[in-house]
Amino acid sequence: MMNAMNAMNAMNTLNLVLWSVQGFLALFFLAAGAPKLIGRGLERWTGFSELPRPMVVFIGFTEVLGAAGLVLPMATGILPWLTPLAAVGLGIIVLMAAGFHLRADERLNAIEAALWASIAAVIAIGRWDLVVASHAYAPPWVLVAALGVLVPSVIINLIVLFKRPVNSGTRHLPDIEVARVGGLEARHISEGLLPKAR
């Protein structure tokens, strides 16, 4: 009896933690996807000026759809198995984003994207166990359809990634050398010699 009570408390704690993290992740992806859909506020995200507008809209759509999928199916009880699939989809999206960041030599952004993917993976694993415990399941055709959409999306993304010129999404400032000559300080920039006023 005591073991059953402890197991129930552990499941309730897990459920509460997962709901909290799902809400947090859903808010992040809603905030990330909405600007891509409406085309405003993209300056917060690096690299989108170099992508075709339809691809940016598609990424935004999948992020908003994934955010809804993290919360609505389990909250309404309608097709709850969509929640772990949404988490898997969001994990794939941010792993592809990590590839863009690595290609642009933005290592810190790539690490951040990998951390978001890890959070999504934990939600997928945690919710998959809860969905299985409730005897709900994803029909095979849904998994085949999901793969039918995801695999071509990954291939298209990889093609765009490798055909895109390697540019950093962030502004790179030129190296500046400071020299003191006879009490006059000057900065040598690649374009020429600029004296500094005192």
User: 141: domain range?
Assistant: 2-172
Between these two residues, 37 and 159, which has the higher pLDDT value? 37
In a domain, 97, yes or no: yes
In a domain, 182, yes or no: no
Would you say residue 171 has pLDDT above 60?
Answer: no
Would you say residue 42 has pLDDT above 80?
Answer: no
Mean pLDDT check: name the lowest of 2-16, 81-95, 181-195: 181-195
Which residue has 């339809």 as its token pair? 54
In a domain, 31, yes or no: yes
Report residue 91's pLDDT band, with 50, 70 and 90 as the boundaries. very high
- Token digits of residue 68: 């809804």
In a domain, 95, yes or no: yes
Q: How far apart are CA 189 and CA 169, in angstroms?
A: 22
Q: Express as a percent the part of the chain with pLDDT over 70.
A: 60
In a domain, 51, yes or no: yes
Most confident of 67-81, 106-120, 138-152, 178-192: 67-81
Buried b (16+ CB within 10 A) or exposed e, 118-147: ebbbbbbebbbebbeeeeeeeeeeeeeeee
In a domain, 190, yes or no: no
In a domain, 177, yes or no: no
In a domain, 65, yes or no: yes
Would you say residue 86 has pLDDT above 90?
Answer: yes
Q: Number of structural domains, the chain?
A: 1
User: Angle, to 10 degrees, between the axis of helix 140-163 and the axis of helix 82-103?
Assistant: 10
* Mean pLDDT of all residues in 44-66: 83
Q: How far apart are CA 148 and CA 178, in angstroms?
A: 57
The pLDDT mean for the chain works out to 75
pTM: 0.64
